[in-house]
Structure 1
Amino acid sequence: MGHGFKVDSSFWELFGDTEIAVLTAYDINNQDDSKVPADLLNKANEKALQWVSQDPISDNPVIQDWRQAFRKFKTKKGARCAVENLLKRAKQGKGVGKINPVVDIYNSVSLEWAFPIGGEDLDQIKGKVELTVSAGGEKFFPIGEDEYEDTLPGEVIYRDDQAVLSRCMAWRDSARVEVTAATKNLIFYMENINPERHADHQQAIQLLQKRLHDYLDIDTNLYILTKEHSTVDFQ
């Protein structure tokens, strides 16, 4: 079965105004970081502070957007959107550090524009990526953990034909599909749940594409998914 991306109607019932940018890239080299600026993440962590100037962190509009979104579905206790975790670290002076070139680039864009960005190894994905609402009890193997977890009934998840890829929408990724130095083919997705941030979302997409191209010679294919266009097959 070929790869693709689809959003189930159960998701649109909760988040009908969401737009999701999906990007793919093929035959990439994720081992040469010679053109990635050494201070890329330091600058991104500084720029991130503009999004979280208020105290407590939950008072900031981009954080509030995601806090409210997470109240619409069943979540594991303490789960927060991935971008809140990044911005919180930046605010605390514990900004995210280097991992590998591709991950560093998408983390830098996530920090500068305050959108969650998921990046995964496309070769490890079985069939289509699906954004849906879990019936519960689906297996998830988180990065950095030895034990699997079960999803909750009503939890928004990303999954493929084999198992869960990300819990609580944009919270935590599966170890199976993480981007490594050996990754050759990629998929990214970036959600915007606030229609008023449409222009920001467009600029974040363009910056991600530009940095991947300029620093790693990676050209991307872009697809925008909405309630009216909720599935795509990758060429």
Structure 2
Amino acid sequence: MRFHLAPAVAEKGLIGAYSLLKDFDISRADPAAVTAYVDKAVARARGALAKIPVSDDPVLRGFHQLHLDFSVPTRKLHSAPETLLRYLEKRGDIPRIGPFVDLYNAVSIETRLALGAHDLDHVEGDVSLRLTDGTEHFHPIGAPEPEAVRPGEYAYVDDAGDVICRLEVRQVEKTKVTAGTKSAFLIVQGNARTSPEFVRQGHDRLLSVLSGFFGGTVEPLYRP
């Protein structure tokens, strides 16, 4: 697959790095080692939140501004890293879903970047980060039915017209990572307040963590 970034999205300051991680094996990871890695990331993030709360974090505020620039209702739709960190502030931990998701969430709470992973076997054709026109299909993870798509937002959309991630907020049932996932399309997204170098560093860190635990080969798609 290829990745396409629409100029109408990029000109608002959205910045990201994207890759494929292929032929990995989630079962090869030691569960205790995964838990230990995530526990340490959570402890570091708690320490960081004691100094800079979610409401004052410059990267998270950058996502708020990005949403405002696209007329997204910011009170209801928070970026994925903000949702994780608010959960952490309230409960002292992040949700534990599975080794692959837990590890990229751990990287997300430390970098404040929006990270995502999509089962490549269920992505149809290429992926475009573009403005929505309202005709796309969108079935969020955990939702019983598809939901309507607002025109004028940005979304990651495959060639079948399916949204695989709305903004950097909601991923979908179609491409969710499971224990049987072998290859994934990886998203590392920032905003106008994150430099290209910072996004590249977050991207490379994610790839290092995931490949270190699960193996696989990397196929770069796009770097800022």
Query: Could you tell me the TM-score, scaled by structure 1's length?
Result: 0.85
Higher deviation after alignment, 197-206 or 97-106: 197-206
User: Which one-letter code corresponds to 2:36 in the other structure?
Assistant: D
Kept in 2: contact 1:46–1:90 (CA 8 A) = no
**Which one has the bigger helix percentage?**
2
**Which residue in the other structure is 2:76 paired with?**
78
**Which residue in the other structure is 1:230 paired with?**
none
**Which residue in the other structure is 2:39 paired with?**
42
**Which residue in the other structure is 1:220 paired with?**
218
Q: SS at the partner of 1:150?
A: coil
Q: Which blocks of at least 5 consecutive residues in structure 2 are unaligned?
A: none
1:146-157 residue pairs with structure 2 within 5 A? 146-157=144-155
Shift of 1:66: 0.8
Shift of 1:40: 1.9
1:4-15 residue pairs with structure 2 within 5 A? 4-15=2-13
Q: Does 1:101 align with 2:99?
A: yes
Kept in 1: contact 2:20–2:185 (CA 8 A) = yes
Cα distance in 2 for residues equivalent to 1:52 and 1:152: 36
Aligned residues: 220
1:56-67 residue pairs with structure 2 within 5 A? 57-67=54-64
Q: SS at the partner of 1:99?
A: coil
Q: SS at the partner of 2:84?
A: helix
Q: Which blocks of at least 5 consecutive residues in structure 1 are unaligned?
A: 227-235
Q: SS at the partner of 1:39?
A: helix
Q: Does 1:184 align with 2:178?
A: no
The 1:63/1:180 distance shift into structure 2, 3 A limit, reads same
Cα deviation, 1:130-187, whole Å, max 9, x if unaligned, reads 10111124221010111111111111111112211111x1000011000101111111
**Which residue in the other structure is 1:68 paired with?**
65
Higher deviation after alignment, 93-102 or 180-189: 93-102
User: Which one-letter code corresponds to 2:56 in the other structure?
Assistant: D
Query: Could you tell me the TM-score, scaled by structure 2's length?
Result: 0.88
Cα distance in 2 for residues equivalent to 1:199 and 1:40: 24
Cα deviation, 1:89-118, whole Å, max 9, x if unaligned, reads 122234223322221221111111111101
Q: Does 1:87 align with 2:56?
A: no
Higher deviation after alignment, 155-164 or 32-41: 32-41
Kept in 1: contact 2:140–2:170 (CA 8 A) = yes
Cα distance in 1 for residues equivalent to 2:19 and 2:70: 26
**Which residue in the other structure is 1:25 paired with?**
21
Kept in 1: contact 2:24–2:182 (CA 8 A) = yes
Cα deviation, 1:31-62, whole Å, max 9, x if unaligned, reads 2331633222222122223157345x322212
User: Which one-letter code corresponds to 1:67 in the other structure?
Assistant: H
**Which residue in the other structure is 1:166 paired with?**
165
Identical aligned residues as a percent? 26
Shift of 1:13: 3.5
User: Which one-letter code corresponds to 1:31 in the other structure?
Assistant: S
Q: SS at the partner of 2:34?
A: coil
**Equivalent of 1:118, from 116, 119, 124?**
116
Higher deviation after alignment, 70-79 or 60-69: 70-79
Shift of 1:196: 4.9
Q: SS at the partner of 2:180?
A: coil
Q: How much is the aligned-residue C-alpha RMSD, in angstroms?
A: 2.0
